[in-house]
Structure 1
Amino acid sequence: MTDLDRDFWEDRYRAGTDRWDLGGPSPPLTAYIDGLTDQELRILVPGAGRGYEAEYLYRAGFENLTIVDLARRPLDDLRRRLPELPAAALQQTDFFSFRGGPFDLILEHTFFCALPPARRPDYVQAMHRLLVPGGRLAGLFFDFPLTEDGPPFGGSETEYRNRFSSLFHIRKLERARNSIPPRAGTELFFIFEKK
């Protein structure tokens, strides 16, 4: 497997081979964001890429954001689109070295599936550590067979339940109903609450 380090991701963005990039926020996530009422929520967007969901959140009045990505290029792109975003909101760092928080909500979109599968237990522990008690981890996971040919790597509902249920209440884990057509049938929308 390729080393998924900072250079790998910078090269993907530079070459335009970031096939997971939708060019805008994901409809299941905008629908979820539209249902949020507390604009004081402390929100983390990890592995944010170009940060379309973070931009959507900010423009909807959610200003208490922290946006993390390993690569500089996508964060710079977000900065160009949203120059009023406070500089401190953008954190270029390895997520597993990040020590911010705690957060009320962590919004997941394509980050989990981009990690080498061996890091998945670390992801679960980090999400639990970064959330306040009762805090939520919500977003989208891919639902297709696990592969060595990622990123993105696959996963299944069974895997997600098994990985997260010891530390989180599974409030929702279901087929996304409003995915973009190329992703229809391959996304699970979820809301997990920290125990």
Structure 2
Amino acid sequence: MEFNEDFWNNKYANNKIGWDLGEVSPPLKAYFDQLENKDIRILIPGGGNSYEAEYLFNKGFKNVYVVDISEIALQNILDRVPNFPSSQLIHANFFELEETFDLVIEQTFFCAIHPELRTKYGVKMNAILQPQGKLVGLLFDAVLNEDHPPFGGNKNEYLAYFQSYFKIKRMEPCYNSFHNRKGMELFVKLEQK
């Protein structure tokens, strides 16, 4: 099965979005709350309804971008946050992005792409981050589905994708996960080499 635009639009149109917490993930909220430089360029790939983008934008971060293959998901953000700059909601395939960012936030995107694309994900993250840029977020530390998203994984697998490009600052079990993800997430903070 191909996880293309129609696949994801269908998920949003039919509200089959079990990954959507309906709020900012607590570990990411805690990370955002300690960020001081509100001028950094932040990308949330495969951001979906992106409560993270809304939270950051409302805290005064004006260079927040969301890229998603689903136009419906991006429209959902505008419906909730009408003053969010529509030019920063990018309707595209993440792997075709040309822009660069200081910080990329990982929140259920990695687990949504086909596992065959995981090596390409590491390469692309390295390419779109500014020097010393950071990739921060959550990765599932669990066996999930084999034939459809979300796809699981583990720390050893993730290290293989990222060690060539990033200094691993943190990759450890998350202590403050959302209740239905407790014991299933790693908090990840990677810095470009």
TM-score range, shorter chain: over 0.9
Q: Match for 1:175 among 173, 176, 192?
A: 173
SS in 2 for 1:76: helix
RMSD: 0.9
Corresponding residue number in structure 1 for 2:65? 66
What is residue 118 of structure 1 aligned with on the other side?
116
Worse-superposed segment, 139-148 or 49-58: 139-148
What TM-score comes out, normalization by structure 1 length? Answer: 0.97
CA distance in 1, matches of 2:177, 2:65: 25
Paired residue secondary structure (1:23): coil
Equivalent residue, structure 1, for 2:26:
27
Could you tell me the percent identity over the aligned residues? Answer: 44
SS of match in other structure, 2:28: helix
> Aligned residue pairs: how many?
193
What is the CA–CA distance in structure 2 between the aligned matches of 1:150 and 1:17, rounded to whole Å? Answer: 13
Match of 1:107 in 2: 105
Q: Counterpart in 1 of 2:74?
A: 75
Residue 180 of structure 1, CA deviation: 1.3
Aligned pairs for 1:1-195 (under 5 A) are 2-100=1-99, 102-145=100-143, 147-195=145-193
The whole-number CA distance in structure 1 between the counterparts of 2:144 and 2:82 is: 38
- Kept in 1, the 8 Å contact 2:47–2:109? The answer is yes
Superposition misfits of 4+ residues, deviation over 3 angstroms: none
User: What do residues 84-135 of structure 1 show as CA deviations (whole Å, max 9, x unaligned)?
Assistant: 11111000111111112x2110001000000000000110011000001110
Residue type matched to 1:183 in 2?
R
Alpha-carbon displacement from aligned partner over 1:121-170 (angstroms, at most 9, x marks no partner): 11001100000111000000001126413300001011111210111000
Cα distance between partner residues in 2 of 1:3 and 1:149: 10
What TM-score do you get using the length of structure 2 for normalisation?
A: 0.98
Question: 1:10-35 deviations in whole A, cap 9, x for unaligned?
Answer: 00111111110001110000000001
Structure 2: runs of 5+ lacking an equivalent: none
Q: Which runs of 5+ in 1 are unaligned?
A: none
Cα pair 2:135 2:191 within 8 Å, conserved: yes
